[in-house]
Amino acid sequence: MKFKSQRVAYWFFATCMLLLTLQIVYGIIMGFARIGMDGLHPVIPFNVARAVHTNLLVMWLLAGFMGAAYYIVPDECDRELEWPKLAYVQLIALVVTGVTAIIGFHFNWWEGRKFLEIPRPLDFLVVVDVLLFITNIGITIWKSKRITTTVSVLFFGLLMAALLYLPGMIPFDNQTVDSFFRWWVVHLWVEGVWELIMGGILAFLLIQITGVDREVVEKWLYVIVGFTFLSGILGTGHHYYYIGTPRYWLWIGGLFGALEPLAFLGMAIYGIAMYRRGGRNHPNQMALLWTLTTCILSFVGAGFLGAAHTLPQVNMYTHGTLVTGMHGHLAFWGAYACLVLAIITYAMPQVTGRKRNEDASASYAFWASNIGMLAMTVAFGIAGVAQVYLERRAGMEFLDVQRELEVHFIGLLLAAMVFGSGIAAFIYNFIRYGLPVAEPTGPADPTRRSSDEADGVVVPEPAAGG
Amino acid sequence: MLSKSAARLFFLVGTFATTVAFVALTVDTLRQVPEQTNEAQLSPAVIRGKELWESNNCMGCHTLFGEGAYYAPDLTQVYERRGPAFIRQMLTDPEGLYPGQRRMVTYAFTQEEQDDMIAFLEWCSHVDLNGFPPPPTVGVATAPAGAGAVAVPQVYQQICSACHAVGGVGGQVGPALDGVASRRDADYLRRWLEDPLAINPKSRMPKMPLTPEQLEEVLAYLSTLKAGEPAP
């Protein structure tokens, strides 16, 4: 940690841990409901559990991205955050808004559109909150003498994510138009601008951990985000096959959707290539492991499993089945959850001055959560394919098919226990790190390459007071 | 070898070009959607129904146009498949209609709100979805076959088959009805359909919303389901 204000990241990461825990609890409630154990139905019906599960995911990932930005921007821009106190205000506001929404769900208060369930009045609070965040890091970058590609890509991604929230707030009377613009938010976030945020954070981690020359890392960063947008923007069309929009989306969405894995494949090759090229032993091997896992599992989950049902001929049968759940779980885990856990694993020793990344609990957290999530993906996949054949191909009644699928959800719950134990170990480790230190601990890594030093990285004098 | 500025150019040009194409296609889509979705039929009742659909987060369990949560059936075609009487009964007492099954919240909708929801689902069933949902393809009949001279009445397909199967086609919530005419006489079946609980207070089958004509149609069909004569 070079700058005192980077400490604010800790509180964002702590929020991530709390929200992730709740997300898993609601996921397990849904898993049990699916095997017929729905005793909580009068209090937490499935639609509440489902909305809490997905909205908490979005919230903790956004909190993670914000924490990552607050950590990375001062480091890259070589100056303190403009208004560290505003960051705390903004975090509290985010949590209050989110918790209000989650409690509101339990009282049947909704906007009620898939993934955009947060009631409209609260949408405005989200926008104000994100604007505060964008302004804070924007001014910090603006006033800096050094604007790197990494930080530009990160900032552009965060800014676009904020702007793309707006089309989702417009009400429409026509369900088709409503759905059309809903995907502007959902798809263009996760298969568009969030990948910029991901690219920015990954570039930072790879530069720091592998020690590969910044010019090389950032050049390939452009190529990857270039592929992301080239495929991802028109790839939105793979959500427009069967919702009442013109037929040409079948081939546009099919073609560009099929290209989407290229960006993720690029990301995987990029991470591995930089790691091999770096050949340096960074003390935080755990952060390296999470970073490479992000690169690889984002390709498997978001790229490969997405491509598996992106073609319109296949999607005709898999659309609206558990096959989507299979893809969704590994995509979000691989691309975004692992990414946030990677930056947390990287930042924690620096923010707290303790080296718990070598602890056995950190290792267990990594293996159990990844193996658990892969097993969950397999369970969803089998259930999804079985559903496609029984319901869509053979025409069995929906509920009869669901009874046939219960056994796969027992498997899913077992896998979720392994996954949950991994996350519990991660959180245990996070808590044991303790609170952030009051003063900067110096540059992230004293063995940093000279090319970076030449960019003008200076260790500041420790500021007085707390 | 690729330079950083060339890489940046690739990113900027590619992003700009696809964004322009996407915006142009969006404009064209918005031009075509009114016809494809019968926007002229978008009555105030349909719009109120959509608001109900959203303000109760129905998509948190059901899917519509294949979008939702996969916990409860897709409702795109429910108006055609089950009809308004079934939907009304389901909205009034879901657990009564599917006893012991996966549960749905009982919403305290007024008669008018139920009408609005039905209007919304009817509008949805007429949207041209480019062939979705696909008809089943693997050698299973999609509707119970008629036995002998009596065709399967529409009300049987919409309401009864949700829970009962004939010849393996239909739901498995209640018992299969193959051979029911051999087990029960016509008078019993009539009394049963008029009020199942009057005959068996422990029955989990609710009194179904059938008009007298529909009752006769269903009875005529059931009387053809004799043992040893599988539906052709």
Cis bond leading into B230, ω under 30°?
Answer: no
- Distance, in angstroms, between B167 CA and closest chain A CA? 13
- Judge contact between A141 and A77, C-beta under 8 A: yes
pLDDT band at B66, cuts 50/70/90? very high
Multiple choice CATH, B42-134, 3.40.50.300, 1.10.238.10, 1.10.760.10, 3.40.50.720:
1.10.760.10
Q: Give B151 or A450, the one with higher predicted confidence.
A: B151
Amino acid at B19: T
Q: Quick one: which of B95, B108, B212, B88 has its CA closest to B158?
A: B88
- Judge contact between A245 and A180, C-beta under 8 A: yes
Residues 6+ apart with CB under 8 A from A145: A78, A456
Helices A46-77 and A149-164: crossing angle, nearest 10°?
A: 150
Residues 6+ apart with CB under 8 A from B13: none
Per-residue pLDDT of chain A (466 residues; tens, 9 = 90+): 889 999 999 999 999 999 999 999 999 999 999 999 999 999 999 999 999 999 999 999 999 999 999 999 999 999 999 999 999 999 999 999 999 999 999 999 999 999 999 999 999 999 999 999 999 999 999 999 989 999 999 999 999 999 999 999 999 999 999 999 999 999 999 999 999 999 999 999 999 999 898 998 999 999 999 999 999 999 999 999 999 999 999 999 999 999 999 989 998 999 999 898 886 778 899 999 999 999 999 999 999 999 999 999 999 999 999 999 999 999 999 999 999 999 999 999 999 998 888 889 999 999 999 999 999 999 999 999 999 999 999 988 899 999 999 999 999 999 999 999 999 999 999 999 999 988 887 665 544 443 444 343 444 444 443 3
**Which chain A residues have a beta carbon less than 8 Å from that of B140?**
394-396
pLDDT for A149 equals 93
d(CA B42, CA B39): 5
Touching check for A177 and chain B: CB below 8 Å? yes
Cβ B7–A50 below 8 Å, yes or no? no
Strand pairing category for B165-166 and B67-68: unpaired
d(CA A349, CA A130): 28
Touching check for B182 and chain A: CB below 8 Å? no
Domain ranges of chain A: 4-441
Residues 6+ apart with CB under 8 A from A49: A26, A27, A29, A30, A33, A40
d(CA A379, CA A372): 11
What is the ipTM, given to two decimal places? 0.91
CATH code of the domain occupying B154-222:
1.10.760.10
Q: Number of Cβ pairs closer than 8 Å across A and B?
A: 220
**Which chain A residues have a beta carbon less than 8 Å from that of B130?**
241-242, 247, 250
Radius of gyration of chain A (CA): 22
d(CA B123, CA B116): 11
Cβ A175–B25 below 8 Å, yes or no? no
pLDDT band at B144, cuts 50/70/90? low
Cβ B67–A226 below 8 Å, yes or no? no
Tell me the pLDDT tens digit for each residue of B163-192: 899 888 888 888 999 889 899 988 999 999
The DSSP 8-state label assigned to residue B227 in this structure reads: T
| The two three-digit tokens of residue A198, written as one number | 């991901």
In sequence order, the β-bridge partners of residue B150 are: B147
CATH superfamily, region A4-441: Cytochrome c oxidase-like, subunit I domain (1.20.210.10)
Touching check for B188 and chain A: CB below 8 Å? no
How many of the other CB atoms lie within 10 Å of CB of A426? 23
- Distance, in angstroms, between A257 CA and closest chain B CA? 13
- Distance, in angstroms, between A448 CA and closest chain B CA? 22
Interface test mutation site (partner A, options B1, B9, B13, B22, max chain A beta carbons within 10 A): B22
Cβ A112–B59 below 8 Å, yes or no? yes
Touching check for B10 and chain A: CB below 8 Å? yes
d(CA B78, CA B168): 21
Q: Which of B10, B128, B136 sits opposite A395 (nearest CB)?
A: B136
Touching check for A165 and chain B: CB below 8 Å? no
Touching check for B20 and chain A: CB below 8 Å? no
